[in-house]
Structure 1
Amino acid sequence: MPAGELAPDRRRRLLETAAREFAAEGYEHASLNAIIHACGMGKSSFYHYFGSKAVLFDTVVGEALGELASMLDIPAPRDLAGPHFWDRVTDLLLDLLGIAGRGTWHAEVGKLFYLPDAPTGHSPALREAWESIRSWLDRTLATGRECGAIRADLPPSLQAALIGEVLQCLDRWSLRHLHEYPAREQEDLARAQADALRRLLAP
């Protein structure tokens, strides 16, 4: 391990602890002292490695999303065109909801997107993630409309706004509650959510 780097196990513990604290308390009210104390670190050590709460928050988001991207098979929107459109979209949604249901630290980080005081303006990782999600959704909706998998009787901008709100509602609920259900019920609920999305958008 290069000099000056935090040991991987200590770094992971710090990031997971911070994710739980941010998710439970919000950005402004999250206690650095509580995070540092839980990890057995001193303040000077923390500030040496991270420098600020903002840097810690951004690191938590960036590292979790990087891991999440490696766990998922996210198709390029143009590759969804054709009769398999809804099967591929459903598979992706089920994979995402499956992670939410397992209650991993990725699920805790998912909650950070919906904090009332989320520091989007000061978190490049959070801002870039939102931009990437919106871009993928816009291109996926366009592909679905072009191939006939998505209804085209609404203006694209209205449809994008509608589906954005619906997906956020499903995501927020799943991150908070899906892990409370037995595994089989989690799968049934995830499939019901995917079916509701399809019924909303399919012709």
Structure 2
Amino acid sequence: MPAQRWRELVATAAAEFADAGYERASLNRVIRSCGMSKSSFYHYFDSKQQLFEAVVAHVAATVAADLEVPEPADFRPDFWGLAERFLQRLVFAAERDPLFVDFGRICYLPDVPAGQDGVSGATAAIDDWLRRTLAVGRSAGAVRCDIPPGLQAHTAIAVLRAFDEWALHNRSALGPGELPRLVQAQFEALKRLLEPVQQGSA
């Protein structure tokens, strides 16, 4: 498929899946919006699931490349400073590119088909990165070590997901400047949860 047509198809299909969910997403709407014929579409894809898998794989790779995700070891010298700057990059990406937001919404769809490895693989990779990053923070003294690492990671991931899912599903209702403030609140909540407890503090 020509590159420009592929980018248009990815953006259109990602928006359709994010808005309608997997089961209610319409291939006819996607094909019509892209100005494709059905025969042209089915030359490349056999089914909605095959399109979904291709879109998820492409968008996940694009988002990861655009964000320039730091390696966990990069956080060692300035853990919380780099964490805050990385979250700010996420906000910038979300405000600049609707595809980034649509991918996030797709990751939280409740009706992804069983055995679909694209979404589960993407979320598993994110969770693994967070666990390894927290381990670096613990070894550097920036993250508390008085609770088990597994419980700490589980709690931190739950907090991040709660903020992310709410923000993604309510993105259109947020006013100017609300998303950056919400992400800052997310960062501060995570920092309060994870920073070492100071001796003598209440």
The alignment's TM-score, normalised by the length of structure 1, stands at 0.87
Alignment of 1:88-167 (within 5 A): 88-102=82-96, 104-119=98-113, 121-122=115-116, 124-167=117-160
Counterpart contact for 2:167–2:179, Cα < 8 Å = no
Amino acid at match of 1:132: A
CA gap of 1:170–1:97, structure 2 versus 1, over 3 A, is farther
Matched residue, 2:17: 22
CA distance in 2, matches of 1:112, 1:140: 24
Contact kept, 8 Å, 1:26 with 1:117, in 2: the verdict is yes
**Residues 120 and 111 (structure 1 numbering): CA distance in 2 closer, same or farther, change over 3 Å?**
farther
> 1:120 offset after TM fit, Å?
6.0
Question: Alpha-carbon deviation of 1:73?
Answer: 2.8
8 Å Cα contact 1:90/1:194 also seen in 2:
yes
Aligned CA distance change for structure 1 residues 97 and 120 (closer, same or farther; 3 Å): farther
Are 1:77 and 1:136, in contact at CA under 8 Å, matched by a contact in 2? yes
- Percent identity, aligned pairs only, is 44
Q: In the alignment, what sits opposite 2:34?
A: 39
Are residue 87 (structure 1) and residue 81 (structure 2) matched? yes
Normalised to the residue count of structure 2, the TM-score between the two structures is 0.88
Between the aligned partners of 1:87 and 1:120, the Cα distance in structure 2 is 39
Structure 1 gaps of 5+ residues are 1-5
Question: How far apart, in 2, do the equivalents of 1:7 and 1:68 lie?
Answer: 21
Gaps of 5+ in 2: 197-202
Query: How much does 1:102 deviate?
Result: 4.1
C-alpha distance in 2 between matches for 1:86 and 1:28: 40
Paired letter, 2:98: T
CA contact (8 A) 1:85 1:144 kept: yes
Tell me the CA shift for residue 98 of structure 1: 2.9
Whether the 8 Å CA contact 1:73–1:92 is kept in 2: the answer is no
Pairwise CA distance, 1:182: 4.6
Instruction: Give CA-to-partner distance per residue, 1:32-81, whole Å, 9 cap, x none.
Output: 11211222222221111122211211121122122212221311112211
Amino acid aligned to 1:33: N
RMSD: 1.9
Whether the 8 Å CA contact 1:100–1:175 is kept in 2: the answer is: no
- The residue type paired with residue 82 of structure 2 is R
Runs (4+) of structure 1 exceeding 4 A deviation are none
Aligned length: 196
SS at match of 2:156: helix
